[in-house]
Amino acid sequence: MERSIDYKSLIDSLEKIIEKLPEKQKTVFIKSRYEGKSTKEIAEDVGLSPGTVDNYISASINFIKSRLKFIADDFNP
């Protein structure tokens, strides 16, 4: 029997994980992934260097991936 993924639960979990990011890191991640802004645009918007923006995005992705792994494991026992 194939398991179906409850995408609503997955999206809810993702949103909860994003909320746990440090405030500035969360802002940078949202501007990058949800608003589609470039590193340069984000850096100017929030007053950070482009390198810091890239580091925040990378750290956010790693944090989210590590938390989603637990959720994925629930779908594949």
Is a pLDDT exceeding 70 seen at residue 1? no
Distance CA 20, CA 23 (A): 8
Q: What predicted TM-score, i.e. pTM, was given to this entire model? A: 0.81
Per-residue confidence (pLDDT) for residue 9, from 0 to 100: 81
Distance CA 53, CA 58 (A): 9
**Structure confidence by residue, pLDDT tens digits, 31-61:** 999 999 999 999 999 999 999 999 999 999 9
Domains and CATH numbers, the chain: 23-75 (1.10.10)
**Structure confidence by residue, pLDDT tens digits, 56-76:** 999 999 999 998 887 666 666
Q: Catalogue the long-range contacts made by 15-19 (C-beta closer than 8 Å, 24 or more residues apart).
A: 17/63, 17/64, 17/67, 17/68, 18/60, 18/64
